[in-house]
Chains A and B, each alone.
Chain A
Amino acid sequence: MTSFTLLEKIIRNRTDVSDSEIYPNNIVWVDLDLVTARDYAGPQVIDLFQKNYIGSKTFNNEKVIFTPDCYPYGNDPKHAKDQEKIRVFAKEHGIKVTDLGSGIGSHLLFRRGFSKPGDVVIGADSHYNILGALGILGQGAGDVMLAFALKTGKSWIKIPETVKVILKGDYEWPTTAKDLALYVLKELHEYGITGKAVEFYGAIIDKLSIEERVTLCSLITEASGVIGFVPADKITADYYSEIGIEIEMLSADEDARYISELVLDIQDLGQYIACPPHPHNVKKIEEVIGTPINSIVIGSCTNGSSADIHDAAKILKGHKINPNVRFGIVPATREDFVSINLNGDMTIILESGGNFFGAGCSTCAKGQYGLTGGETAVTLTTGNRNTQGKIGPADVYLASPVVAAATAIEGKIAAPKEVVKR
């Protein structure tokens, strides 16, 4: 009897090949549960589809969604035209569009139940692997693969080897899932997971919410990994049951063939920050405390949820943003926007001097360059990329919403020691 990793099991349920064909480095066809594209690459996918498959329908219009999220305001004529192309094509083919202001596509997939554990989904987003946090095999794909998938409902995948990562220990506030994610990125980048998948285990996993798991899995791309999985469990099942979806808790076999096993000690983990010029240049926050910051952004698929914004609001309550800082908040989805409106976090942040922008991607995908500022503006974001020249012309740091809020008050990188719980 052959045994399988979680990724192998997901593939096994979505392919015609026999079990003997499911092994690392082999390439197999998979049937896709969902194909998506957004305003980045989506228009090119449509062009390729129309040029190559003249007069064709998509494989199944119910299994395709366009999720424009990169350029939330269509803030130049080119992007506005691209977004219009998506709307026209979608209307013609009866395809759902989560239009501007709905939020980041990858988040909408789980928040609105478009995708569930065990599914295989592809989209034009290199962070589609955050869906691994819910046991979904999400992958970024290029124009050609997406155009083919739109027509056939299939794609090919090279089955990656899987590293079993055990997180040992626990941490306390103000350390958050972002610090965990940054620490894990630093360790996995050093360890080497290029082209590999990861499965996360450890007692801490039972304490992490879906939002925190998404944060943990969101930096695997920055370590050149394929995907990080948190196998679906009761927390995942409860999350889906709230939106009326019953899930299957797919897990790896006990004796699955892992390429290696890595134990990471996270007991009393401190706070971490990614310094310029790479996301994996992760340091203990103490090493950069006091660095002046001019522009702060809370948002992205890594840390743009209402839970993340709530973390920041707890710190900001009753405080004013430093006058040398511009502080922007980009909620991940409309649902997050509603939550922070209902629980009062939005008012707290507005009163402190923060500014809200429409739900969607924030700085990572280049679509909101203006949030970061000019050559003299050093930025701190809660996102996943700090590539100079893409996110902003000057240095960019990546940290948790807690650190972002404390830094916004101080005007320089700061770590909160205590906070008034509310």
Chain B
Amino acid sequence: MSKETIKAKAKLVIVDDIDTDQIFHQSLLTIHDPNEIKPHIFGNLEGYKSFGKEDNVGKILLVGKNFGKGSTRQQAVTGFIAHGITAIIGESFGPIYYSNSVNSGLLLVEVPGISEFKVKEDDNLEIDITQSLIINQNNGETIKCVKIPQPVLDIIKAGGLLKLGEIM
């Protein structure tokens, strides 16, 4: 990541404990093509079932606590990459989801106390990686995020773990 900041609009899905079945239902597990996975994302999450058909390209997704808990299914990560989501900010993530995401090149940012952060749909957010800060440019709110570890930045910059392997 040559750039030390990421700027994008916010997309809010602030629900705690979203599991991988709510992200991408187990009845669809034979689907592996990213473009076919895309329309099913959050297809099983009450209130957000239209997400799959929306255009959220380039946005930063904001979620709650323990996002992506449950199974190891890769489609629950691939779907967001297919949507062009830049990063996901949440209070915390399921450990397997975290490693699946990072290894696929999708940046996850942990923010303790994210529920205190004042943000509206489509606010302009900035992730300052050097200072470990999230800034809402619309209202000037800032909140500290957990320092993004260097290996995670290396992997994201390369576009995923296997891609990083090409240049190491």
- Interface segment, one of A21-29, A353-361, A381-389: A21-29
CB distance from A90 to the nearest CB of B (A): 19
Whether a CB of chain B sits under 8 angstroms from the CB of A151 is yes
Q: Mark contacts of A216-238 with chain B using CB atoms, 8 A cut-off: 1 yes-contact digit, 0 otherwise.
A: 00000000000000000000000
The one of A17, A142, A145, A147 that contacts B150, using a Cβ cutoff of 8 Å: A17
Whether a CB of chain A sits under 8 angstroms from the CB of B168 is yes
Q: Mark contacts of B143-166 with chain A using CB atoms, 8 A cut-off: 1 yes-contact digit, 0 otherwise.
A: 000110111101100000111111
B interface list, Cβ under 8 A from A: 72, 95, 99, 103, 146-147, 149-152, 154-155, 161-166, 168
Size class of the A contact interface (CB-based, 8 Å): 20 to 34
Whether a CB of chain B sits under 8 angstroms from the CB of A376 is no
The one of A21, A142, A152 that contacts B165, using a Cβ cutoff of 8 Å: A152
B162 touching A52, Cβ below 8 Å: yes
A27 touching B149, Cβ below 8 Å: yes
In the complex, given contacts A28-B151, A145-B103, what are 4 additional A-B residue pairs having Cβ atoms less than 8 angstroms apart? A52-B163, A144-B162, A148-B164, A195-B95
Interface centre among A27, A145, A195 (most CB of B within 10 A): A27
B151 touching A145, Cβ below 8 Å: no
Residues of chain B within 8 A (CB-CB) of A142 are 72, 99
Residues of chain A within 8 A (CB-CB) of B152 are 27, 156
Residues of chain A within 8 A (CB-CB) of B166 are 52-53
Whether a CB of chain B sits under 8 angstroms from the CB of A154 is yes
Across the interface, name the chain A residue whose C-beta is closest to B168.
Answer: A152
- Sort A-B residue pairs by CB-CB distance and give the 5 closest, nearest first: A27-B149, A156-B151, A151-B165, A152-B168, A148-B165
Instruction: Give Cα distance in the complex from A48 to B160, angstroms.
Output: 13
Instruction: Give Cα distance in the complex from A53 to B163, angstroms.
Output: 9
Instruction: Give Cα distance in the complex from A17 to B151, angstroms.
Output: 11
CB distance from A321 to the nearest CB of B (A): 40
Residues of chain B within 8 A (CB-CB) of A21 are 150
Given A26-B149, A28-B149, A195-B95, is A52 in contact with B165 using a C-beta cutoff of 8 Å?
Answer: yes
CB distance from B168 to the nearest CB of A (A): 4
B165 touching A53, Cβ below 8 Å: yes
CB distance from A59 to the nearest CB of B (A): 9
A interface list, Cβ under 8 A from B: 17, 21, 25-29, 48, 52-53, 142, 144-145, 147-148, 151-152, 154, 156, 158, 195
The one of B103, B146, B151 that contacts A29, using a Cβ cutoff of 8 Å: B151
Instruction: Give Cα distance in the complex from A366 to B7, angstroms.
Output: 48
Instruction: Give Cα distance in the complex from A246 to B147, angstroms.
Output: 40
Instruction: Give Cα distance in the complex from A195 to B95, angstroms.
Output: 9
The one of A28, A147, A151 that contacts B168, using a Cβ cutoff of 8 Å: A151
B165 touching A27, Cβ below 8 Å: no
CB distance from B66 to the nearest CB of A (A): 12
Residues of chain A within 8 A (CB-CB) of B147 are 26
B162 touching A148, Cβ below 8 Å: yes
CB distance from B84 to the nearest CB of A (A): 22
Interface centre among A17, A53, A156 (most CB of B within 10 A): A156
CB distance from A315 to the nearest CB of B (A): 41
B149 touching A154, Cβ below 8 Å: no
Instruction: Give Cα distance in the complex from A145 to B151, angstroms.
Output: 13
Residues of chain B within 8 A (CB-CB) of A53 are 165-166
Instruction: Give Cα distance in the complex from A28 to B151, angstroms.
Output: 6
CB distance from B160 to the nearest CB of A (A): 8
B162 touching A147, Cβ below 8 Å: yes
Across the interface, name the chain A residue whose C-beta is closest to B164.
Answer: A148
The one of B95, B149, B150, B161 that contacts A148, using a Cβ cutoff of 8 Å: B161
Across the interface, name the chain B residue whose C-beta is closest to A159.
Answer: B149
Residues of chain B within 8 A (CB-CB) of A27 are 149-152
Residues of chain B within 8 A (CB-CB) of A25 are 146
A144 touching B161, Cβ below 8 Å: yes
Instruction: Give Cα distance in the complex from A26 to B163, angstroms.
Output: 22
Instruction: Give Cα distance in the complex from A152 to B165, angstroms.
Output: 6
CB distance from B162 to the nearest CB of A (A): 5
CB distance from B103 to the nearest CB of A (A): 5
12 pairs of residues in contact across A and B, judged by CB atoms under 8 Å: A26-B147, A27-B149, A27-B150, A28-B149, A28-B151, A29-B154, A48-B162, A53-B165, A145-B103, A148-B103, A148-B164, A195-B95
